[in-house]
Structure formats: C-alpha cells, structure tokens
A and B are shown apart, each in its own frame.
Chain A
Amino acid sequence: MLKALLARAHQGHRTMAYPAGEPPAMPERFRGAPTLDPAKCPDGCRSCADVCPTDAINKDGPLALDLGRCLFCMECVTACPDGAIAFTNDYRLATRRREDLLARGQELALADALERNLRRLFGRSLKLRVVSAGDCNACSADVNVLGTIGWDLGRFGINYVASPRHADGLLITGPVTENMRLALRKTYDAVPSPKIVIAVGACAISGGPFADHPEQHGGASSVVPVDLFIPGCPPHPLTILDGLLRLLGRVEEQRRVPRG
C-alpha cells in the first residue's frame, strides 16, 4: 500500500494541458499535412505518381494528392526532383467531406462543427462505439490511447462504450472487409438516431493499401454515411483528438490553415 502511494506521488499528474494550453510537441520527423507546389512540376513528370503505393497522387492534370489514400510514406517526396511535395508537421487533417481531402496546393477545409441541433445533443456528451472492420490494429491502438491518462478523452465528455445501444455514433477503422460488412451494418443499425459516423485512417476512408482487393469494400462510406474523415496511416492521436474536438465545435481558431 505504501509503495502504491509512493508510486502515485512519483508518477504525478500527466494529463496534457491541450486544448486550453499548447498541444504536445510533434516529433521532428512527424509527417502531417503536406504542402504542394504544382508550379514546380516539370511538364509531363509523373515521378511521384509512379512511386505512390496507393495511387494517391493524380498527375493527369495539375498535381493533386488525396489525403484519404495517403500513407504518409514520403516516397513521393524522395522521388520528386523539384521539391513540389513536402510534408509539414501540422497534425490538423480532419475534414467533414471526402472531397475536401484532395490537396492541390489550396487551403485545406478543416472540419466544421456539427449542425446546431446535433451539437446541442452531442456537444457535451458523445458516446462512441468503435468498430474495427479489417484494420491492422494501429488505428485501433491510437484511438484507444486517447482513453489513457495523458489524453483523458473523458474530460470532453467523449467516451467509448461497450454497446451500440449506448452509443451516439460509430468510430470505424479498417477498409471494411467483406467478412465484417454485415457486422458493421448491424452495429450501425443498432445505434439509435440521430447518429454520427467517424472514419479513422486511410483504410476506413479509401481502403488504404487494400483499396482494390475484392476482400474489402474500400472504406466505411461503402456501408454507412460518414460525417468526419480523419486521414493518416495511422493518424496521430492528436490528429484524431483535433478532429473530434472540431466536430464538437470545441476547437475553432485557425479553422482554415494556409497550405503551400
């Protein structure tokens, strides 16, 4: 008992100050929002598109990078002879609409808050049922980590709950495997309306590296309507938290960040 008390004293208070204070520092090599400079692309160059493992880059017109597919692997940066693509360590990536994830060198339209009536319902208490539908456990793990003392998701009134019947919405990871499609559908149907759906990670948004496999369905929107897209492979916990807080209207400043 004495040891437990001593340990309690040593371990101290660990919950981060964010969002009231500064967000935790990102590692120097962290890869967040990209900046694109299509003006630098030489005519007909496809070096980036050719190396991209998920075909996230479209070079048929001016350079465009789909953050919903991107694995943040940096292959394109290495391949580009002219420095047209760079990744910053800006962790803010979540959007409300799938098409907003297409980066062309413009400002990224970060997620708006929920409509007023939903915000009134969920703004101070949002219970989520997490469904892993073919994820590799990396997205799950960093969704789960928000429940630990450092992040303490509960202080925002957001909790992961055991039953869809207790939930206000689903948080989905994974490309939605054929073998999880029915279970996901049933889980969604079991959540009382009104409900929201959050897709976390490249797989849940686009199928990720498995996008063209017949064993999966290319993400959550193949089965249910999605209200919030959080890109990454996997997204950093801070990216996920930022997305959730934006959805609830708890982070509004710098809503639109200049990109590239």
Chain B
Amino acid sequence: MTAGVATHNGRALALKDVPFLEPSQFRGWLVNGVRDKGRRIASYFGVAGGPESGPAADGIGLVAVLADDANGRLSVARASCDGASFASLFPEIAQAHLFEREIAEQYGVTFEGHPWLKPVRYHHSYRPGHDAWGRPSDAAIPPGVMDFFRVEGDEVHEVAVGPVHAGVIEPGHFRFQCHGEQVFHLEIALGYQHRGVERALVGGPTKRTLPYMETVAGDTTIGHALAYSHAVEALAGTQVSARAHAIRGIALELERLANHVGDLGALAGDVAYLPTAAYCGRLRGDFLNMTAEICGSRFGRGLLRPGGVGFDLLPAQVEDLRSRVAVARREVTEAVELLWDTPSVRERFDHTGTVTPEDAESVGLVGPAARACGIQRDVRHDFPAGIYRFVHLPVMTAHHGDVNSRAYVRWLEVQQSISFILDQLDGVPAGGPGAAAGALKPDSLVVSLTEGWRGEICHVAMTDAAGRFSRYKITDPSFHNWIGLALALRDGQISDFPLCNKSFNLSYCGHDL
C-alpha cells in the first residue's frame, strides 16, 4: 500500500479501509501529492494510542487527508509513530508546518528537521508524561513565551502587540521585526483563546457537542454546525430532506453575507472612508437579523442540528425574507460600490499586503484569501455537499492577492450569495425540517468539508467500537490562513497592519479551539 484510500466529502469509511502506510511511504504519499500532483493537506492530526494508533500500541497514530480540488477527490491514510519522534515534512512541503507543531503540542512528539517547532496553543500534551519540549507536567505554560524569530542589525527594531488590542477584537500576540516603517517579518503567537474544545469532544456526541460546534467560532456558527451535521449524518446514515438542505444553504449564505458586508465596512473604516463604514456596519446587522427571523438568534444558534434544521421556514417568513434581501441588495450595492469609485480608497487598497499565488499555493491558503490570488478553490464548487450538489456556484476569483483583491472577492461573493438566497426562496422544497440522527456507526471515519465565509472548514470524525468519537479533529480556515497574513506583511509598512489584518479577518478562537 503506497497511497491513501479515495473518498468523498461526507462519506463514511470503515476504519479498517483506511490504510496504515509505512512512515516513509506515508511521507512519500504526502510529498508526492502536494508537490507533484497539486493536492493539499486538508487535515493532518494525531490520535491517541490503542488500536487506532496501529502496530505500536504505546505510540500514536497519524492521520492525513489530502484534497484534490480539481477532481473533487479526497484521500486518507494513516501511519503509526512510536510516540517520540517523526521525520518532519516541512522542509519539503511548507503547508505541513503548523499541523506538525499542533501534533507535537497535543501528543508530545518531536518532528525531526522542523525548523520552527514551537507551541501553537500553549497547553499540556494530551499524553501525560510526553512533552515535545521536555517540560514537566506540572510546569506552567505561559502563553506567547517562545523563541520568536529575530532580525538583528543596526536600526532593526522589534514591535510587540497584544494579546489585548486597541479594538473590540479577540486576543493574539504579534511580533514585528522592523526597519523603520518597513516590516521584515511578522510572527503571530496565538492560543489565548484556547478552551479545550477538541479534548472535550472525545467520547461524544453528548448533549454539549452541538453547543461546542456552534461556539468553535461564533461568527461561523452555521459553518461549523453544518460540517458537524454532515459528519454525524454520514456516520448515522441519515437522509436529510431537500427542504432542510435549502434552509441550511440560506443560513450559510446569510452568515457569509453578514461577515463579508461587515468586513467591507470595516476595511473602509480602516482607510478612514466613513460612508461605506457606516452603511455596511448597519447592513451587516440587517443580515444577522434575517438569520434571527428564521431561528431567533442573530448567529444562527439552534438553527442546524444533525438530521435537519431546528426551525422551519413559514410561508410568511419566505415572503418577508425575500423583500428584506431585495432591499439589502440595493443598499449594499450602493454602499460598497462607493469603494471602487473613490481614489483615496483605491490608493490604500491597491498593492497593499500582497500574497503571491506561489506562496498561497505553497502554504495552502483557503477561502477568499486564496481566491484573491487567482486560485480556484471553494468547497461549494470542488466538494459539493447538501444543497450545493444541486446548485452549482462558479468560483469567484481576483488576481492581485492584495487587500483590494481580497475585498473584491468578498464583494463578488456577496452578490452571488444574494442571488443564491433569492433563488432558494423562490422554490423552497416541500417536506419536513428533518428528524433526529440515529446512532453512529462504530469504527468509522468521515471527512466533512464546508465552505464557511473564511474558507474551508474541515471536520474529521472517528468513532470507536461503541460508536463514540475516539477523535474529532476540527480545522478552521484560520488555521491555514494566519501564515498568509504574516506573508502579506513582508516588506510592507507596519502602519498597514490593521488594514491587512481586516482583509483576512481570521478567527482566533477557531484557531485556538
């Protein structure tokens, strides 16, 4: 066996069909897939000992998922690791970088040859007594304390920002190596938001699993709840009604609209263009209120559940939503188009925070950040599930990889999401909102992908012999994209940081879990 097993988004596999490759073959499969075949790592994680970890019972198992965007195929393979060390892939494939750091931190494994093997979230390992950095298990692990990359030299200086920032935003620490205004390097240290979500998911599903999913990243409640629902439905063999699929699609696009519109306003605010900032700030709320009209919560809490949706759409609500969306379309168009017509905005957006397509491919960016570099990558198009199997959405791209391109891709997607919602409202299929999902298949694995507003959300669920989660791995799009923000700042000006940061608007808690 030299390759992974082929699978699709949201299809349950028996664990025994997921091959264990020899470590050298496992690495070969990944390096060859990423470097030569244009695939990328959607997920790569450890699992604790026991039968799952393969031959070495006191070791750990490694599981990787390769995504082939062009062909809509996924492949999954495993390797077993002695629990002490494993050869790093990072020298050959850059996108393995953070995954390996995460495995090192969670399972106390060192990756030989990894030049940046540092903590990710600053917590103790899941395997007491095993620590990649040899720290005693009772030692405090202060966040943000690590060996930051430093540039030395005359007039080179370091700027440290956070964890508590000036605005109403989540905590993170940013270290800039600067020469005057010019940024040589930015290193981002996160983990302040770490709440122990993945650890708590083991043994589920429980009555708390859905609330966990809804709060992985609160601004992506629908995105993560959808990935979770698809995973459970695949493992339980549940059929979801066409009506529930349609309502879920409407909810996912409303979430995208609220965030894209809000961010376009915030970008305008960051370059001191107040009209768009003021209008979009309000319009974002209008989209949140539409979600609240469906389910009572502006963030879609309780709207999705495995098996279907928790709230049905009444005919009067369909009418009401249709007219609200139509009004919002007019107002958003007017507010956002001011951006492209205003020279002072264009002057600040154009050529600021550029990420090259080569870098974007190499680090494995996802979502609007990737599409702004001209990369065709969108789960709704490449790995369609739910409603997106029936409605085909072209991938929206732009080509300069700068703040303007990231903003423009968002604007294209705003228009696309509005049309999608109006189309769905024109013909919500008959049927019920769905039933509860049943028990999960034992000893299985499923990969569930969803295109959240920030990009690809990847959940991988594995069950044990009793049909409980033995591992539930969550990869928020922010996990792939934080490095993109660091690259965007290279050789830029430090004063452009807020603007670049907002153009990505990544999740801290989605990364920290």
A interface list, Cβ under 8 A from B: 3-4, 7-8, 10-11, 14, 27-31, 51-54, 71-75, 130-145, 147-150, 160, 162-164, 174-175, 177-180, 182-183, 187, 208-210, 213-216, 233-234, 236
Q: Are A54 and B123 in contact (CB under 8 A)?
A: no
Q: Are B196 and A29 in contact (CB under 8 A)?
A: no
A11 contacts across to B, CB distance below 8 A: 278-279, 331, 334-335
Q: Are A210 and B195 in contact (CB under 8 A)?
A: yes
With contacts A4-B338, A209-B208 known, is A137 near B219, CB below 8 A? yes
A74 contacts across to B, CB distance below 8 A: 302, 310
Nearest A residue to B195, CB-CB: A210
Q: Are A136 and B217 in contact (CB under 8 A)?
A: yes
Nearest A residue to B331, CB-CB: A11
Q: Are B298 and A236 in contact (CB under 8 A)?
A: yes
28 sampled A-B residue pairs with Cβ under 8 A: A14-B282, A27-B289, A27-B293, A51-B207, A53-B207, A53-B208, A53-B210, A73-B301, A74-B310, A136-B219, A137-B217, A138-B218, A138-B221, A140-B168, A145-B285, A148-B281, A150-B282, A160-B167, A164-B164, A177-B192, A179-B191, A179-B194, A180-B143, A180-B192, A208-B215, A215-B195, A216-B195, A216-B196
Q: Are B301 and A180 in contact (CB under 8 A)?
A: no
Shortest distance from the beta carbon of B359 to any chain A beta carbon, whole Å: 27
Q: Are B299 and A234 in contact (CB under 8 A)?
A: yes
With contacts A134-B509, A149-B281, A179-B143 known, is A30 near B296, CB below 8 A? yes
Q: Give B496-513 interface residues, CB cut-off 8 Å to A.
A: 507-509
**B467 part of interface (Cβ distance < 8 Å):** no
The interface on chain B, measured as residues whose beta carbon lies within 8 A of the other chain's beta carbons, has a size of: 63
Shortest distance from the beta carbon of A165 to any chain B beta carbon, whole Å: 12
A236 contacts across to B, CB distance below 8 A: 298
B174 contacts across to A, CB distance below 8 A: none
Which residue, A134, A140, A177, A183, has most C-beta atoms of chain B within 10 A?
A: A177
B218 contacts across to A, CB distance below 8 A: 135-141, 234
Q: Give B314-339 interface residues, CB cut-off 8 Å to A.
A: 331, 334-335, 337-338
Shortest distance from the beta carbon of A128 to any chain B beta carbon, whole Å: 10
**B122 part of interface (Cβ distance < 8 Å):** yes
Shortest distance from the beta carbon of A101 to any chain B beta carbon, whole Å: 19
Q: Are A10 and B192 in contact (CB under 8 A)?
A: no
Q: Are A187 and B335 in contact (CB under 8 A)?
A: no
Shortest distance from the beta carbon of A28 to any chain B beta carbon, whole Å: 8
